[in-house]
Amino acid sequence: KAGVTQTPRYLIKTRGQQVTLSCSPISGHRSVSWYQQTPGQGLQFLFEYFSETQRNKGNFPGRFSGRQFSNSRSEMNVSTLELGDSALYLCASSPDRGATYEQYFGPGTRLTVT
Amino acid sequence: AQSVAQPEDQVNVAEGNPLTVKCTYSVSGNPYLFWYVQYPNRGLQFLLKYITGDNLVKGSYGFEAEFNKSQTSFHLKKPSALVSDSALYFCAVRDRGSTLGRLYFGRGTQLTVWP
């Protein structure tokens, strides 16, 4: 099976712009989560989707939003970019919801805001 | 509240020696515990998990971890380290009672194995 894919892999944006990141989960996986990784804050949870519904949301401002499509693919959007949004954004999928399942991570999208 | 602590930012070990990467956790109920590894410019790779049963869990690439409920620890171990094991290691936890997929991660431990 192909792994989790994320596009684009690298992105450079200017402060104030918006950006959309895409994630395709492993085939058959219905749960998708997003995390932000920075050197200062480590891995921080953004949101979790299952069957097109957001089930959980982390402590991020409303500029961060996401959605999941019927084929389980997911997108996240960041509006009005700030310098502090520069980070590695990781998408992870798992077969189903439930605490016993491990998550499988994509390679990430490296976002740089200038 | 759920949290994970990795008390060592950096662990250095010589190739061929045993390695230990420490993790302690705090959850409101019983935990599910996970270890992940991250290589430079890559996403996280799943190594192993503790769900129930034997306290010693074996995972990928010769790694194992020991769950200790009384000490609320889940230390990652390997009997003989390889240079290729050099990477960033993350411990993560979920509350057993949760139906949500969110993982709570530690800050990570940079493992360096010297030849």
Tens-place pLDDT, residues A40-95: 899 999 999 999 999 889 999 999 999 999 999 999 999 999 999 999 999 999 98
pLDDT at position A99: 67
Task: Determine the residue of chain B that is closest to A30 in CA distance.
Answer: B101
Which residues contact residue A91 at a Cβ distance below 8 angstroms, ignoring those fewer than 6 apart? A4, A6, A21, A23, A25, A32, A33, A34, A35, A74, A76, A105, A106, A108
Question: How far does the CA of residue A73 sit from the closest CA of chain B (Å)?
Answer: 17
Q: Best of A7, A26, A103, A111 to disrupt the B interface by mutation (most B CBs within 10 Å)? A: A103
pLDDT at position B97: 67
Average model confidence (pLDDT) for chain B?
93
